[in-house]
A and B are shown apart, each in its own frame.
Chain A
Amino acid sequence: MEIEKDYPDIVVIETLRSQSNFNGVVRYLYKKNYKPVQVYIIQNSGSAEDAEDVFQEVIVTFIELVKLGKFRGESSISTFLFAIGRNVWLNELKKRGRSQLRNEKFEKSRGFVDEDVSKYLVNREMRAQVIELLDKIGETCKKILLAYYYDNLSMKDILQQLDYENEQVVRNKKYKCLKQLEQIFHSRPALANNLKSILAYE
């Protein structure tokens, strides 16, 4: 295994915001923080697979919070990630109906980081529904929309990647794809109502 660079917290935050060396920093977060979360979950009625799922959720949640400026650095990243992991797992246990005693114990021992984190946590199933929606718009639409809105590529770059005739064709395609997604939300008002609070951690 290669030796991973050690990133100070401030560098992790800046890197996640700017997206430069995103992979390196995320790998670093995995190497540094996965084990404690895994141990906690396994020691609390979870499996290795549970730990893997939860940690992925932990990392995504953390990055989104950083990008939204909601991680204020009042605790170390490691402490914060562990607190997210603990909250996600206890919510999962609650859902499975096996955590009454453990949850009472946790509530008594929780610190300010846990309280800070718990308000950001949302229903994982709701998030999963959002992902399912994206799967409904087709691969081409996903590629264009991801290239433009996630990778921040220009129309010129997307044109080169996806081999369309010209930029206007790409632009029209992007318009149709986004409209298609908007229409899906229009047809599912209940989901749409919760979506903003889910994705904006509000």
Chain B
Amino acid sequence: MSPRLAPLKIEARREIPRGLLYATPLLAVALTVVAGFFIFLAMGYDPFLSLYHFFVSPLLSFYGWSELMVKAAPLILIGVGLAVGFRANVWNIGAEGQLTVGAITGGVVALAVWGEEPVWILPVMCLAGIGGGMAYAAIPAFLKTRFGVNEILTSLMLTYVATLFLSTLVYGPLKDPMGFNFPQSRMFGDAALLPLLLEGTRLHLGTGIAVAIAVAGWVMMTFTIVGFQVRVLGQAPQAARFAGFSSTRIVWFCLLLSGGLAGLAGTFEVAGPIGQLIPSISPGYGFTAIIVAFLGRLHPLGIILSGLLMALSYIGGETAQVEVGLPQAVTGVFQGLLLFFLLASDFLVRYRLRFRPTVAAAASSQPAE
């Protein structure tokens, strides 16, 4: 009877179902594993063996778990900061640059007192790292709030600048005079290295701090007016203004917070697993943390889990490289795929798919007004 009967009807949901919101990341992970199966198959590797070494074998040893937590620390730290910004529609995608600057400022403090072993050095390094990351994030914050320059492009451009700056330093003024001309600084003194949580591993204090900060982030976002302001600005900027929340202050807050945490992560990397300044501090933690934030649903506690999962993608990539000879680039492919699947599965969260009732059924089921 009706001229246009589509079998499937797509309706926008008026309310987001919580269960589905937190279940879809699992769906995305499952789909990524399935896609990985076919990618390995297409590349001529044994898919079962590859998947096993990618996702399972790193988790079979105690050392594997400890490495997982080492890699998860920067991802969680940065992811929590970015998630707060993303909630407010502040798109800091230059965390990699802020991490690099934080590594530099923290590292410079360590190198400045090289040869001495002052007890205050670690806290000062951390503060320097946070300050460095904040100062670097302040550039896009200033340009955005003062002139309305898009923070996506500026924060990203600054990442390239930071990497080049680090390179300038380790090839130049900070180069180890006894280092056979290798582009790296002196090794930090013992007092400037993060204490290990477990002997025989690289698991350091930074992981514990990252988890503590994620919990603090959750408290802030859920129970305080600060988190409320951030959420309102992101969902309805006009309503934020109506309520008297200053968008300028929130933008500054988000960028300084995410920049500071990225800077702290940078200091943790050089004071933890690396122990000196080298040209490349991070295998893209600042970018991967973007995926971590989304996969954790921009929820600080979710980010702890997604940070561990993305850390697995690094370690799994390394293991699979050693065991089956997979190129390490597989890690990046997996990370991208995971974000694709997550964004696609979001559709299920925001829209309801319904098969239309038949015409006869519809006619006999008129709801009462």
Partners in one complex: no
